């Protein structure tokens, strides 16, 4: 049986897909300034490692867990569904748009974490997505109406505000300092039975490529064997000091139940997203403008590196991008950014996205066998600039005159040029870099948005220009 990736949103006996509400409802309306006055959350942060002192044998973690429980809340979501009543087909022509409707409620349950005494609650986007009303219940019995401050589906983070002060909070740890084997506790309201604490260890770090958040999501999950079940989503993953290290988000399971593979969003990433949502109402991400591949042992040896070198090699530079302005070139080996090692495509993408636009970054590269530092000033990532995926793993950009000259393409040709095809893409053996897409389903394409709109589930007819030849290709798009 294949494993399934499951979000822990709904409790009790109803098991629904993560986006069950999204197709039939609207996002919660943002409150007006008159309704809700936002003040920047005041976070308590402890950056020291969890094992910075020798501890005696521990026989109970009650003193650690009790304060945590006070700051973990239940988040109830309600959406209103309008359905047309069944009508005799013979009467439809006479009723027109006057067919009667009935309204029903659908309710979901998740968890959340109070991180600021003035009422900011961190939770998952999928916990509140599509809800018309939110209610936040504290362990002490108090209940508040929840206001959505902002959401970021690409990291599955949401910030909810409740109108209260002097609330219990959790201290944030530095999730970058986590080690596999560290003791952790998951706290939430699984299956709606009430607040529950489970214990385990950090099983792995940096889990990505799970496609849990789609092709453009930012995955960097902490894996834990602490039991996480439906309803735990948005709850706290804390260390042995009771500090918040992650927001519980999903499980991998064959049965929709816990089998010891739980996933949490690192608190460093969650706090970064929260601050951006509170301060700007959205998420601003840095953009460098390169395509890269992992450095394989063969590539490493060819470039004069050790076979076990963990780095990425630049395969394409987007014209006019910060990378081009910084004089990055194809075959440059990127070793680190801001002294943080870059060992994979995901490392690069996640790190750059977390740096604010207009920030100058130091990139350590190896070029012609010599290490050097290149400075680049990041621009702002936009939907058009963000790993311009036309299909999963297939990046494209508009074919400009400058690009045509570089690629030695006739300047009469216009369309989208493929800049990179990921090795894991299902289209790796069908599409290739430098191939120009002229038409999709017999319609000309000139930008990414129009190309996406022309794609349909199933078989698509591509008209492409490749190495001096024009040809048709049939490309099958997954219907999911």
In terms of Cα–Cα distance, which of 206, 244, 296 is closest to 69? 244
Residue 82 appears among annotated catalytic residues: no
Active site residue 126: yes
| Spatial distance between the Cα atoms of 349 and 334, rounded to a whole number of angstroms | 12
Burial 290-311 (b: 16+ CB within 10 A, else e): bbbbbbeeebbeebebeeebeb
For this structure, is 321 an active site residue?
no
Question: Would you say 178 and 221 are in contact if contact means Cβ atoms under 8 Å apart?
Answer: no
Q: From the CB of residue 445, how many other CB atoms can be counted at a distance below 10 Å?
A: 26
Strands (DSSP E) found in 72-162: 72-84, 101-116, 120-124, 133-137, 143-145, 147-152, 157-161
Distance CA 120, CA 147 (A): 10
The catalytic residue among 152, 156, 182, 239 is 156
User: Which of 233, 249, 276, 291 does the annotation list as catalytic?
Assistant: 233
d(CA 473, CA 440): 10
Main-chain dihedrals φ then ψ at residue 20, nearest 5 degrees: -60, -30
Q: How many helices (H) and strands (E) does the chain have?
A: 9, 29
- Residues annotated catalytic, as ranges: 126, 156, 233
């Amino acid at each position: 049986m294949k494993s399934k990736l499951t979000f822990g949103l709904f409790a009790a006996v109803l098991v629904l897909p993560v986006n069950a509400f999204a197709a039939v409802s609207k996002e919660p309306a943002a409150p007006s300034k008159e309704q809700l006055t936002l003040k920047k959350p005041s976070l308590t942060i402890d950056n020291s490692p969890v094992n910075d002192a020798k501890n005696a044998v521990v026989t109970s973690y009650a003193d650690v867990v009790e304060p945590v429980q006070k700051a973990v809340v239940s988040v109830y979501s309600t959406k209103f569904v309008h359905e047309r009543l069944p009508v005799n087909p013979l009467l439809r022509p006479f009723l027109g748009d006057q067919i009667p409707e009935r309204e029903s409620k659908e309710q979901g349950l998740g968890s959340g974490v109070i991180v600021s005494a003035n009422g900011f609650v961190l939770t998952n986007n999928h916990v509140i997505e599509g809800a018309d009303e939110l209610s936040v219940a504290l362990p002490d019995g108090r209940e508040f109406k929840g206001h959505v401050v902002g959401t970021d589906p690409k990291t599955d983070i949401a910030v909810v505000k409740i109108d209260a002060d002097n609330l219990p909070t959790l201290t944030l740890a530095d999730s970058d300092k986590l080690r596999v084997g560290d003791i952790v506790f998951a706290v939430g309201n699984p299956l709606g039975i009430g607040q529950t604490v489970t214990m385990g260890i950090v099983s792995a770090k940096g889990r990505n490529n799970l496609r849990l958040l789609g092709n453009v999501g930012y995955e960097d999950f902490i894996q834990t064997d602490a039991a996480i079940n439906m309803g735990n989503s948005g709850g706290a993953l804390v260390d042995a000091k009771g500090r918040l290290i992650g927001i519980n988000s999903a499980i991998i399971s064959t049965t929709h139940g816990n089998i010891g593979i739980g996933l949490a969003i690192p608190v460093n990433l969650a706090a970064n997203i929260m601050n951006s949502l509170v301060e700007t109402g959205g998420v601003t991400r840095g953009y460098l403008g390169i395509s890269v591949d992992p450095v394989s042992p063969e590539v490493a040896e060819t470039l004069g590196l050790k076979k076990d070198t963990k780095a990425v090699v630049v395969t394409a530079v987007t014209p006019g991008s910060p990378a081009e302005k910084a004089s990055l070139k194809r075959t440059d080996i990127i070793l680190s950014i801001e002294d943080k090692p870059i060992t994979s495509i995901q490392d690069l993408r996640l790190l750059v996205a977390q740096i604010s636009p207009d920030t100058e970054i130091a990139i350590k590269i190896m070029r012609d066998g010599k290490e050097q530092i290149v400075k680049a000033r990041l621009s702002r990532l936009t939907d058009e600039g963000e790993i311009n995926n036309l299909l999963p793993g297939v990046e494209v950009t508009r074919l400009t005159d400058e690009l045509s000259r570089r690629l030695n393409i006739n300047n009469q040709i216009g369309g989208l040029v493929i800049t990179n095809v990921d090795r894991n893409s299902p289209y790796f053996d069908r599409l290739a870099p430098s191939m120009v897409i002229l038409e999709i389903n017999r319609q000309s394409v000139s930008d990414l948005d129009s190309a996406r709109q022309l794609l349909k589930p199933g078989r698509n007819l591509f008209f492409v220009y490749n190495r001096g030849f024009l040809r048709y290709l049939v490309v099958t798009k997954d219907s999911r």
